[in-house]
Homo-oligomer: A and B are copies of this chain.
């Protein structure tokens, strides 16, 4: 970046919040996905005014801007793939107001999601979205990617809880979308357009989140199955019985074995699948519901069902699920974490397809996920230095996407498209569908400075390149 531009940048943010040294820039070159890309400069804005001025400067000089939260993205969201300036939003965290009367939270983008959970629960309220990174990830990142997690089944995704935004547009204007009311039909829903747009349509500088009363109680069960097929049927039977669990998690045999190897906790390594079901609400209601879930699991061929008797036992059951990510990370140096999602009735079919892909490409493929909403996480454990295996992994990833789309599903349920899935967009959306998205991007961001290189494939790009 030319010196005079850096000079101009220094008039906006002071020296101590701007980094240009290689060593400092290096820490901003990666996220939780693949690839390393060095930004030319890093700034840490503290308020919307600074962001507006940075965006205007970037527009004038046609410099790519990469907003970044805690960089836990699994799809490359914050990677500065074309250099330019990284906006580290983690220090932009001064506001976390809970408005009890209106059941709202007003939050700055750098606030950590778990802090919103905590502060809402202190006054009996509840912010449901719970990505597994919530103890480190920022709400700004969650909003950019429309993050979700186990509770998506009953409570929906981040999007369902964002009702208003303050946004710096790609032209550097500060606008407000939505507001403090749940009902709002004043023009187009820019709030929901921006949530999940992966930072390509603007930089969010404040958000208004809807909260709900905290459920009074919760109960959890863990059921093991000799046959994966049966666990799939148990899931659909529970859902069509009139129960809407707060979470419904699935682990396949490879996943069970991975966890048990990482930290033995008595999981049955010979079973094809286990499911974890949690219900929440009024104590009388959930007592009845969990018994019904237990009965359905046995009817569908569960070999064992354990219902947690208290909070301690509940945490024990969840422990197996929470060990999945660390266990998998231990299995090999490189983890390709996907989130292809299918209509929930197609989970057994998708599991079958994943088995075929595992055999065909001879890969270490572990499957777990939020089965209740069809959001599976096939993880390929590999080593990026093994070029030959990485090539097979790339082919396998392409087939996973194709299988999901063929079964009526989608490339990504909650991780986002980023750099990794961009080449497959047209497969799902068709040329006309993708073009309608591009028209919005081009109309809003004429200089293509907002997180360029994400979501939209490069011309002719038809495959993900992991190596």
A26 CB to closest chain B CB (Å) equals 29
- Using a CB–CB cutoff of 8 Å, the interface residues on chain A facing chain B are 99-104, 124, 145-146, 148, 152-153, 156-157, 159-160, 169, 173-177, 179-190, 192-193, 195-197, 201, 212-214, 216, 236, 239-240, 242-244, 281-282, 284-285, 288, 341-345, 370, 373-375, 408-417, 421, 425, 428-430, 432-434, 436-437, 439-440, 442-444, 455
Contacts A189-B195, A285-B282: A183 and B373 contacting too (C-beta < 8 A)? yes
Inter-subunit contact A102/B344 (CB<8 Å): yes
How far is B425's CA from A425's CA once the two chains are assembled, in angstroms? 35
User: Do the beta carbons of B145 and A185 come within 8 Å of each other?
Assistant: yes
Given A103-B239, A181-B375, A242-B216, residue A186 in contact with residue B436 (CB < 8 A): no
Residue pairs across A and B with Cβ atoms less than 8 A apart, 28 shown, are A100-B240, A102-B345, A103-B240, A157-B182, A174-B432, A175-B432, A175-B436, A176-B430, A180-B409, A181-B409, A183-B375, A183-B414, A184-B410, A185-B413, A185-B414, A185-B415, A186-B417, A186-B421, A187-B417, A188-B196, A188-B437, A190-B437, A192-B192, A212-B244, A213-B244, A216-B242, A282-B284, A284-B285
CB proximity of A146 to chain B, nearest CB, Å? 5
Q: Which of A157, A176, A188, A288 has the most CB of B within 10 A?
A: A188
Copies of this protein, total: 2
Contact, CB under 8 Å: B345 / A411 = no
Judging by beta carbons under 8 Å apart, are B181 and A410 in contact?
A: yes
Nearest CB in chain B: distance from A53 CB, A: 15
* CB <8 Å contact, B101 and A345: yes
Instruction: List residues of chain B with CB within 8 A of the CB of A152.
Output: 182-183
Task: Give A153's nearest chain B residue, CB to CB.
Answer: B182
Shortest beta-carbon distance from A362 to chain B in Å = 29
**A169-B432, A344-B102, A442-B443 known; A186 vs B282 contact (CB < 8 Å):** no
- Residue ID in chain B nearest A428 by CB atoms: B186
Measured in the bound complex, the distance between the Cα atoms of B101 and A193 in whole Å is 29
Q: Which residue of B lies closest to A100 (CB)?
A: B240
For A413, the chain B residues whose CB sits under 8 A away are 181, 183-185
A414 / chain B contacts, CB cutoff of 8 Å: 183, 185
* Complex Cα–Cα for A409 and B185 (A): 11
The 5 closest A-B pairs by CB, nearest first: A282-B285, A183-B413, A284-B284, A443-B443, A192-B192
Which residues of chain B are near A104, meaning CB under 8 Å? Answer: 343
Question: In the assembly, what is the distance between CA of A190 and CA of B179, in Å?
Answer: 20
Residue of B nearest to A237 (CB): B101
A101 to B235, CA, bound (A): 10
Inter-subunit contact B124/A417 (CB<8 Å): no
Assembled-state Cα–Cα distance A443/B425 (Å): 20
In the bound assembly, the distance between CA atoms of A216 and B292 in angstroms comes to: 15
Q: How far is the CA of A442 from the CA of B341 in the complex (A)?
A: 33
List of B residues within 8 angstroms of A180 by Cβ: 343, 408-409
Query: Which of chain B's residues have a CB closer than 8 A to the CB of A100?
Result: 240
A344: chain B residues within 8 A (beta carbon): 101-102
Q: Which residue of B lies closest to A282 (CB)?
A: B285
Cβ–Cβ contact A425 & B186, under 8 A: yes
Could you tell me the distance between the alpha carbons of A186 and B341 in the complex, rounded to whole angstroms? 10
Q: Hey, which chain B residues are within 8 Å of A288, CB to CB?
A: 282
Whether the Cβ atoms of A193 and B187 lie closer than 8 Å is no
Given the interface contacts A345-B102, A436-B444, does A185 sit within 8 Å of B196 by beta carbon? yes
User: A342 contacts which chain B residues (CB < 8 A)?
Assistant: 181
* CB-based nearest B residue for A215: B242
Instruction: Write out the residue numbers on chain B whose beta carbons fall within 8 Å of the beta carbon of A345.
Output: 99, 101-102
Residues of B contacting A212 with CB < 8 Å? 244
Q: A159-B189, A282-B281 are in contact. Are A183 and B440 (CB under 8 A)?
A: no
Residue on B nearest A422 in the bound complex, by CB: B187
